[in-house]
Amino acid sequence: MADYLIGDLQGCDAPLARLLARIAYSPSRDTLWLLGDLVNRGPASAAVLRRLSGYGAAARCLLGNHDLSLLAVAHGHRAPHRNDTMDDILQAPDREAMLEWLRHRSMALQAHGILMVHGGVLPQWSAPQVMGLAGEVESVLRGPGLVDFLAQMWGNQPDRWDDGLSGANRLRVIVNALTRLRFCTPEGVMDLKASGGPEQAPGGLLPWFEVPGRRTADVTIAFGHWSTLGYLRRPGLIGLDTGCVWGGCLSALRLAEDGGHELIQEPCEQAQAPGE
């Protein structure tokens, strides 16, 4: 029995297949914890969704910004980007089954002492608060208000958290933090445009995980979304987006009870120009 954290797939099914073969993955014995961005920009998004959905509870998946983008495009609330590669899902005979499965995935997960998100966590949020706020978005995604939510989901404002936020503004801040956040001010004001490495932080901004006084500093957080950051392993932090779709590699971390986690990486043949 083994548990594996896996970084951003973005439609790269062949490297995933090779990685799972290397670790002799068995869904009857092992569990995968995927950190979001399952689809888009890679060549085989539909194959990824069919594979993961077929594993049932043995593949626990987060939603990333690309996954939410797929839902928005599918429901007519976002135009496809010129670099999108989601047509194999949108034109598939089992399209509705894949979309239905996707909207029931998680915005945050917590297991094995690790808080898992795709993007980041605002400094004002505690781990229990993250799980509660993620649950608010999950309820809307899984409920009858899905289409209305998708119509109002995108946008960079409000750019900060306030406990008094409600409605679409509240949900938008939660989604942006959990799926798009890289940099913010020490006060938690989000910058959702900068995408370089930490050394390229615009003036007055910090990587979200370096904000002094962050309330989740005592919790180990695993995340993806930041390919220019690459693999990050430091006390309390695990970054696993190693740019598979951009010609990097797909990374998995085998979780061990003693904390001596093993990193497994599989090269990816995909080589697109970097982007979100």
| CATH 3.90.78.10 is right for the domain spanning 3-267 | no
12-66 pLDDT, tens digit per residue, is 999 999 999 999 999 999 999 999 999 999 999 999 999 999 999 999 999 999 9
Provide the residue ranges of all domains of the chain, joining segments of one domain with +: 3-267
Beta carbons of 130 and 82 less than 8 angstroms apart = no
Listed residue (104, 113, 109, 107) closest to 52, CA to CA: 104
Amino acid at the residue 161: W
Measured distance CA(55)–CA(152) in Å, rounded? 32
77-124 pLDDT, tens digit per residue, is 998 889 999 999 999 999 999 999 999 999 999 999 999 999 999 999
Would you place residue 272 in the very low, low, confident or very high pLDDT band (cuts 50, 70, 90)? low
Beta carbons of 251 and 8 less than 8 angstroms apart = no
166-224 pLDDT, tens digit per residue, is 999 999 999 999 999 999 999 999 999 988 899 888 899 999 999 999 999 999 999 99
Question: 68: Cβ–Cβ under 8 A, 6 or more apart, which residues?
Answer: 150, 153, 175, 179
The DSSP code sequence of 114-159 is: EEE-SS---TT--HHHHHHHHHHHHHHHHSTTHHHHHHH---S-S-
Q: Count the residues in the chain.
A: 276
Q: For the chain, how far is it from start to end, CA to CA, in angstroms?
A: 34
